Structure 1
Amino acid sequence: MSASVPLTDIRDFKLHIAGEWQTGTGERRQVRSPATGTLIATVTEATDHDVAAACDAAAAAFPAWAATDTAERARLLRGLARIIAERMDGLAELESAVTGRPIREMRAQMGRIPEWLDYFAGIILGLEGEANRVKGGFLTYTQYRPYGVCALLTPWNHPVLILVKKLAAALAAGNTLVIKPSELAPVSPLLIAQWAREAGLPAGAVNVVTGGATAGAALVNNPQVARIDLTGGTTTGKRVAAAAAERLVPCTLELGGKTPVVIFADSQLDEAVAGALFSAFVAAGQTCVSGSRFLVEDSIYPQFIAKLTERVKRLKIGDPALPDTDIGPVISAASRDRCFAFIAETKADGARLLVGGERPALSSNLSDGFFVPPTVFADVTPKMRLFRDEVFGPVVSVTPFRDEEHALALANDSDFALGAAIWSRDIIRAHRVAGKIRAGVTWINDHHKNDPRSIWGGYDMSGYGKENGWDALKSYLTKSSVVVRTEAQFSDWFAGGHRYG
């Protein structure tokens, strides 16, 4: 595919199996713009047969790929990084059209995608085992091996970023892949598979099957899949975890969140408001670490909600293809309806609506889009559903707190433990609170910053396992121990030898 993605042309995408475009045996599924309803592409609804073929291709490619020298794997990953960098503008346009995220957001995100491939290409060269002489005249050393066929199930909100985070670590470790992207954003992973072939990765190293829950279930239950990595909702994560447990297959599960953002009175208020705006409404609130529960010290509570309201009113809702658009649509009619159901229920609960809450008036070409205005409720209590449940849309709550103890009690009053943020100029307190808040990723005086070196993942209802860093690379490898006798004489236990263990 050329550097420019022809968005004006409807493309009929096939499955990508064994390094080739393959027709598949399922029905066609339409991919439409959530902003306009325009048909962007069609893809195949993969059947059990198609998924099995992809797993067979990955299994056939695994021995040679696993045996490839790490320096060669690193070279090929860097080649893929360069291809993505060259085609970044077209990829950003495609992602914006499919997901509804504003083009300005997508260009910024796409600019960092190659970093993950370069990072894991680098650290795989530094993977080392250990060796020790131990009691009884033995030498022990450790070795790493890839698992084999890995199933990557990726979401619609960051189709390329989250895929590449997983793919880079898994391929660097020597695994082969079968990817099942979300049925709502399935196109870019197919392109990444094709570009991996162009970069020189062997046929079958990267396979993509498109479809919905049926294809996903077939993949996680395929007997050739040796490891599973899912980013998705908590309900889906529970199903995948159960299927993996049945075969004792290891998983990484990055699931839902209900991120608390704790704002102390000593924070720089305008900075904290700007950070709140970004954390709540980037990607129209459709991120797993979206700032959705703002906990504000009562002495600055009135000023905070006034400033936040004023900033939210200035956000521009509209066509995601325009560079001055701040807020695009949510991904689907179901997402839109869920957001408005939260709004109606929170009004009924007695919370104070500060801004938003009504369907926006937009131009006629956007009349079929799934738009939800950025919406802020004040005086939300822990008993309200908006405080407790994930919306996955641009609807957030603000709640006052008295002191540090009260702030922590509110922040930790959740079944989720993925992200959190703390705003304070008292760095001692900020670190102290970070040590007590329940989250796998905590930001101090910022939000949603991500890097290949910074581990990512939560616990409890937010799942388990880690992305990024050495933790991610090693999670795609099994570690074993080899024990070597170095004594000349063997101790024959049943002939009177006395060494055991």
Structure 2
Amino acid sequence: MTAPVCAADGDLIPAVRTGLLIGGQVVDGRGEPIPVTNPATGEVFTTVAAADEQDVDDAVRCAQETFQSGVWRDLPIHDRARLINRFADGIEGRMKDLYRLETANNGRPITETKAQITRLAEWYRYNAALLLADRSSVIPMRGDYHTYTSRFPLGVVAILSSFNHPMMIASKSLAPALATGNTVVLKPSEQTPLTALLLGEIAQDAGIPDGVLNVVPGLGPSAGAALVEHPLVKKAVFTGGTEPGRAIAVATARRFAKATLELGGKSPVLIFDDTPVDVAARGAAFGGFIGAGQTCIAGSRLLIQRSFYNDVVEALSKVASAIRIGDPALETTQLGPVISRRAQERILGCIRTGLDEGARLAAGGHAAQVPGLPGGFFIEPTVLADVTNSMRVAREEIFGPVVVAIPFEDEDEAVALANDSDFGLGSAIWTRDVARAHRVASRLETGMVWVNDHHRLDPSSPWGGVRDSGVGREGGWESFNDFTHVRAVTVRTAPDDVDWYGGIATDRLN
């Protein structure tokens, strides 16, 4: 166990187990322990065990043995659903610990963290409900046959979650993976391992059998690579950068394993001039700056109709400049730090690149100084105006509190600019014209489209992208079914026996 430590606001962060969770046992990892940093202070406040390749092999083999034992896979679906709902109850019972840990670990303002992870239990309850609601399909095969489908779990599933939304990203796949009878090895980001470790503890307390959920913090190049390349892993789920996702796609394809990859984004936000300026500015700020812009679906590429472009940029710059930057543990804070010093330096470098390319700095652009937190990794909310879609800052994911503003003339140009991207994760449309909203949404080549909003998700709605934003979907039946294989069962119902070679063949083979 760790000892409780103080957050930046002086309150206590709850103690968590810091060892690997394999087969229900907390074990020391063979890797070098991982320091955990509070990005608001820049200080290390605890360490956790790190898995190496052998630890990962132990975890996967344990998960495989548990799967083969049938203790979870063969549990009657009503009993499995009941345990998943009990798991959801346990998450709700530890909610304060979870959101305080997550805020201390990734620096997201506690008001945002609460708003997000208070919904976590919904994902588990929804997938437990899908388990109970699932039905087989009857296929009208020609002849005297009754043909139907059924589904069966894949086996061991690897889930690699990212630092920006550790609990939500893990749960979006953990919930359907468990509901469909798989066993799981969860590798959280090495930067934010704490809530995943607590999640494993909650699962044990809920009665999830040992070995069903295993948690192995570790470094990506060692533990992460060993996990996705393991021959017993039947599906890998990854949220993160496009290039690591590409490598995972190759690794899983070699053995024909499944992969769901939610990767980078450069989400276009199309703002039409029938939208009130203040509404457009507030909406653009919400889309671009929530989570310090560290979300794959951040509305970081603003396409603004030229007729009111300058007004929106000016209003947005005022909103950005008024955002309260500070200690993420305080309820009054609206923008916290980015995840690390390295990230801070990279983001500031991207801003300089944009200015060198000819962008105009309309707001922000610098590291932010927060009283009492001189070591924190803070960046001012930044608006880069007069950008063209060919600039690097318009094409590459910055993953920080930086938005770029690009003017357009009409609907056709807006759609063309929006689709001119290597990414295709999310997009948003701001308009008061309902016909235009549907018309434009149908032309956008992204996995998700919001109208007059951003960032909204639900366990019933599929989440994912196209092109360099990845493959597969999280949420809904699409995700639930992708944690299973489908089998077709054909039963001959004819009264006579099969005797193909006994006389003149009259049956049809197909």
Q: 1:405 corresponds to which residue?
A: 412
Contact between 1:421 and 1:445, CA under 8 Å: does it hold in 2? yes
Listed as ranges, the matches of 1:355-374 within 5 Å are 355-363=363-371, 365-374=372-381
Matched, 1:473 2:446: no
What code does the residue aligned with 2:23 have? A
CA drift at 1:312: 0.8
- The range that moved more, 148-157 or 351-360, is 351-360
- The range that moved more, 312-321 or 201-210, is 312-321
Q: 1:201 corresponds to which residue?
A: 208
Listed as ranges, the matches of 1:324-403 within 5 Å are 324-363=332-371, 365-403=372-410
Matched, 1:90 2:94: no
Rounded Cα–Cα distance in structure 1 between residues aligned with 2:441 and 2:227: 38
Contact between 1:11 and 1:42, CA under 8 Å: does it hold in 2? no
What code does the residue aligned with 2:411 have? E
Q: 1:316 corresponds to which residue?
A: 324
CA drift at 1:279: 0.7
Contact between 1:9 and 1:40, CA under 8 Å: does it hold in 2? no
CA drift at 1:302: 1.4
Q: 1:253 aligns with which of 234, 251, 261?
A: 261
Q: 1:13 corresponds to which residue?
A: 18
SS at match of 1:422: strand
Rounded Cα–Cα distance in structure 2 between residues aligned with 1:218 and 1:145: 26
Q: 2:9 corresponds to which residue?
A: none
Give the 3 Å change call, closer, same or farther, for CA 210–437 of structure 1 in structure 2.
Answer: same
CA drift at 1:9: 7.1
SS at match of 1:53: helix
What code does the residue aligned with 1:54 have? A
Q: 1:221 aligns with which of 216, 224, 229?
A: 229
CA drift at 1:11: 5.9
Deviations 1:36-79 (A, max 9, x none): 02223211221111111111111122122110111111111111
Q: 2:465 aligns with which of 458, 461, 469?
A: 458
TM-score by length of 1: 0.97
- The range that moved more, 136-145 or 37-46, is 37-46
Contact between 1:312 and 1:374, CA under 8 Å: does it hold in 2? yes
CA drift at 1:109: 1.1
Rounded Cα–Cα distance in structure 1 between residues aligned with 2:139 and 2:33: 57
Rounded Cα–Cα distance in structure 1 between residues aligned with 2:306 and 2:216: 51
CA drift at 1:429: 0.7
Rounded Cα–Cα distance in structure 2 between residues aligned with 1:10 and 1:368: 24
Contact between 2:274 and 2:432, CA under 8 Å: does it hold in 1? yes
What code does the residue aligned with 1:80 have? F
Contact between 1:11 and 1:41, CA under 8 Å: does it hold in 2? no
Contact between 2:17 and 2:197, CA under 8 Å: does it hold in 1? no
> Gapped runs of 5+ residues in structure 2?
7-11
CA drift at 1:92: 0.7
What code does the residue aligned with 2:354 have? T
SS at match of 1:217: helix
SS at match of 1:262: strand
Rounded Cα–Cα distance in structure 2 between residues aligned with 1:22 and 1:241: 30
SS at match of 2:71: helix
Matched, 1:440 2:447: yes
CA drift at 1:136: 2.3
Matched, 1:51 2:67: no
Rounded Cα–Cα distance in structure 1 between residues aligned with 2:288 and 2:229: 36
Contact between 2:187 and 2:217, CA under 8 Å: does it hold in 1? yes
Contact between 2:16 and 2:194, CA under 8 Å: does it hold in 1? no
Listed as ranges, the matches of 1:103-252 within 5 Å are 103-213=110-220, 214-252=222-260
CA drift at 1:133: 4.5
Rounded Cα–Cα distance in structure 2 between residues aligned with 1:264 and 1:404: 8
Contact between 1:281 and 1:394, CA under 8 Å: does it hold in 2? yes
CA drift at 1:159: 0.3
Q: 2:45 corresponds to which residue?
A: 40
- The range that moved more, 113-122 or 483-492, is 483-492
- The range that moved more, 132-141 or 342-351, is 132-141
What code does the residue aligned with 1:341 have? G
CA drift at 1:237: 0.2
- The range that moved more, 10-19 or 277-286, is 10-19
SS at match of 1:134: coil
CA drift at 1:10: 7.2
Rounded Cα–Cα distance in structure 2 between residues aligned with 1:338 and 1:357: 12
Rounded Cα–Cα distance in structure 2 between residues aligned with 1:9 and 1:121: 29
Contact between 1:253 and 1:464, CA under 8 Å: does it hold in 2? yes
Q: 1:30 corresponds to which residue?
A: 35
Rounded Cα–Cα distance in structure 2 between residues aligned with 1:349 and 1:152: 39
Matched, 1:426 2:433: yes
Deviations 1:172-213 (A, max 9, x none): 011010011111101111110111010010000000111112
SS at match of 1:417: coil
Rounded Cα–Cα distance in structure 2 between residues aligned with 1:467 and 1:136: 38
Contact between 1:491 and 1:497, CA under 8 Å: does it hold in 2? no
Contact between 1:454 and 1:468, CA under 8 Å: does it hold in 2? yes
Listed as ranges, the matches of 1:287-306 within 5 Å are 287-306=295-314
Number of residue pairs matched? 499
Q: CA RMSD in A?
A: 1.6
